Amino acid sequence: MLPAQVNTDSLRAVINSKRPYEEQMEAAIKLVQHFELKHFDSTLIEGDKALKIARRNTDSLAVAELKRHIGVASYFQGNYEVAARNFYESIAILEKRNEKKRVAPVYNELAKLYRKTRDLDRAAANYKKAETIYRQLNDTGGIAMILNESGVVYEYKKNYKEAISRYTASLKLAEAAGDSLSVSYSLSNIAGVYVIEKNYDLAEKNLLRALAIREKLKDSFALALTYSDLGAAMNAKGDYKKAIDYLTRSNKVAEGLKYPELQSNNYNELSAVARKQGDFQKAFDFFMIRTALRDSLMGLEKTKQIQELNAKYESARQEQQIQEQQNKLRLQNFLFIGIAGLILLAGLLANSQYRRYKLRKESQLQAEIMKQQEMSVKAVMQAEENERERIARDLHDGVGQMMSAAKMNLSAIESEINFTDTGQQQSFEKIIQLVDESCREVRTVSHIMMPNALLKNNLASAIREFVARLNNKTLAVHVYTEGLDERLDSNTETVLYRVIQECVNNAIKHAGATTLDISLIRDKDGISGTIEDNGKGFDTINQGNSDGIGLKNISTRIEYLKGTVDFDTAPGRGTVIAMHIPLKANN
């Protein structure tokens, strides 16, 4: 880590000077590194400025390095999708340049992200990639870091023996290298296992040793984590006074760092402490603060929505200006007619010139109106996608994790209950099964609402994955695709994915169909698709409001892609939806 006394003003002076590019970029990266674990907003702001400089000079290695630091800051702000995108872009550049020493820590950061989202297999795979590179480079510091980080994966898998083994091996390597910061992280992780095993005295001993190291290093970020860990350990031990003291200290540091996720976790622990002490009002107050902080983690999405609302406002303002221009044109029309009545030849000439001018202006106005309407539709659709993503994350990270915790708690107390007969035990097992099914249902709903499959696969694969997640035994869905192996424009893929979702949901909710055939074919003219079911159909003229809204959504999305859509249906004979997106609209 860089020393805390880095002079940010001198670094900015170098960046804004006329010095050679290499000196400017070196200063820019140092500035971003300085803020990385101190002030996440500043990391993103300075990182974006530095990226523009690096791209202007086609410096791909600098771009990769900056994207890594931007990814780390986004991760700690809870914006995992942005973090993952930056990590993957950094890895792609560094792998292409065969920069093993630089790519290894990026694999480590990506693994931590997957570990955070509990995708433990992907986390382990990325840790393995990083460890393999560090061993090839004979980098003991890197090996120690990976052993420490990957131990958490085994801890989450409840393989505590392997977790302790990795933490201890990391600790020995760090001590041999004299790396006190790494020693403190190993001690914290070992303490975490001791808390799980309810060995609170050993946990406190290791955490206090880590705290002494971090206080000596004056590492604010690491101190905030250690205070939080001590607070959680003391809460579990039942020493509520110490728990409150440590958690309050952690919150004070986290607030200065603008680290809302850590504050949210701390207030959750404080709520639990107050509840155990019987102070339910304070427990509720802490819980509400924690809820508000979790909402703040969606700040970037909210900012985007505000920007979209601003775009709509600007669109309306421009339409008003257009109307004023049209009024001016009408006034000019009267003036030209008056002149034409006084001077016939001059009037005829002026009228001819005016007509050409009017046609040109009307054409420009019509084009501007179409452009503004398209921007408005795009803003609404983007806002809808953002809201879907927010709800999906809330389901996955909030309800999903609470359901998983409920299941673990039920499983944990099962062995402690003395069942009087087999009927009671079977009823208890059914409760666990219901909670488990609820967990799966929450995950399914969150994945359907937010098409993460489009981040990893093409449109065809994403649709098949969506269909595979459907839990409807009465509806057989058949999917046929052709020519979609190559990726389309991301916006086009998202729109078509939502159209397919809407059609499938209509077939399930309203049509009463038993079969649904989906076909998507891409050729030289564009993309053609049909969705056909054998349901009860409907009257397109006298349909209900809900159906009308569904069809309007489909039509609006297809029109946004400059495409066409037709509905062929009648009561009692099923429904066929045919659409065509011109190839030009996808480019």
Give the pLDDT confidence of 343-380 residue by residue, as tens digits.
Answer: 677 667 777 777 777 777 677 766 666 666 566 556 65
Mean pLDDT value across residues 225-233 = 88
Angstrom distance (rounded) from CA 273 to CA 246: 12
Asked if 446 and 380 sit in the same domain, the reply is: yes
Residue with tokens 């065509």: 580
CATH at 139: 1.25.40.10
Given a cut of 90, whether residue 137 has pLDDT beyond it is: yes
Q: What is the pTM of this model?
A: 0.43
b/e code 366-401 from CB counts within 10 Å (16+ = b): eeeeeebeebbeebebbbebbebbbebbebbbebbe
Is residue 203 in a domain?
yes
**How many domains would you assign to the chain?**
4
Mean pLDDT value across residues 6-34 = 89
- In the listed set 244, 272, 297, which residue is the last one of a domain according to the structure? 297
- In the listed set 227, 255, 283, which residue is the last one of a domain according to the structure? 227
Q: Which residue has the higher pLDDT, 377 or 29?
A: 29
Phi, psi of 565 (to 5 degrees): -140, 140
Residues 516 and 504 sit within 8 Å (Cβ to Cβ): yes
The pair of structure tokens assigned to 471 is 């839990």
Q: Where are the alpha helices (DSSP H) in 36-78?
A: 40-56, 60-76
Asked if 421 and 308 sit in the same domain, the reply is: yes
Type of residue at 445:
V
The share of the chain scoring above pLDDT 90, in percent, equals: 18
Mean pLDDT value across residues 266-289 = 87
Given a cut of 50, whether residue 204 has pLDDT beyond it is: yes
The pair of structure tokens assigned to 196 is 């799980």
Is residue 340 in a domain?
yes
Angstrom distance (rounded) from CA 172 to CA 557: 59
How many CA atoms does the CB half-sphere of 291 hold within 13 Å? 8
539-556 residue pLDDT tens: 776 654 445 557 777 888
Asked if 464 and 363 sit in the same domain, the reply is: no
b/e code 162-185 from CB counts within 10 Å (16+ = b): ebbebbbbbbebbeeeebbebbbb
Is residue 145 in a domain?
yes
Given a cut of 70, whether residue 537 has pLDDT beyond it is: yes
412-455 residue pLDDT tens: 676 677 777 787 777 777 787 777 777 766 666 655 555 665 66
Domain that holds residue 263: 228-297
**Cβ partners under 8 Å of residue 160, min gap 6:** 154, 193, 196, 197
Q: Which residue has the higher pLDDT, 333 or 312?
A: 333
CATH at 244: 1.25.40
Q: Share the mean pLDDT of the chain.
A: 79
pLDDT score of 198: 85
Type of residue at 231:
G
Mean pLDDT value across residues 452-478 = 75
Phi, psi of 138 (to 5 degrees): 55, 40
**Of 107-121, 309-323, 486-500, 532-546, the least confident:** 309-323
pLDDT score of 401: 62
471-502 residue pLDDT tens: 667 778 888 888 887 787 777 888 888 888 88
Angstrom distance (rounded) from CA 361 to CA 196: 73
Asked if 290 and 303 sit in the same domain, the reply is: no
Is residue 3 in a domain?
no
Is residue 1 in a domain?
no
47-91 residue pLDDT tens: 999 999 999 999 999 999 999 999 999 988 888 889 889 999 999
Is residue 2 in a domain?
no
Asked if 310 and 439 sit in the same domain, the reply is: yes
Asked if 307 and 419 sit in the same domain, the reply is: yes
**Of 16-25, 205-214, 386-395, 466-475, the least confident:** 386-395
pLDDT score of 2: 37
pLDDT score of 556: 82
Given a cut of 60, whether residue 123 has pLDDT beyond it is: yes
- In the listed set 297, 319, 335, which residue is the last one of a domain according to the structure? 297
Helix (H) or strand (E) segment spanning residue 476? strand 476-482
| Cα→Cα distances 136→92, 104, 131, 227, 413, Å | 20, 11, 9, 36, 46
Mean pLDDT value across residues 27-35 = 90
**Of 324-328, 471-475, 500-504, 574-578, the least confident:** 324-328
Asked if 443 and 462 sit in the same domain, the reply is: no
Residue with tokens 């990270």: 397
Asked if 75 and 205 sit in the same domain, the reply is: yes
Asked if 286 and 323 sit in the same domain, the reply is: no
**Of 174-183, 198-207, 465-474, the least confident:** 465-474
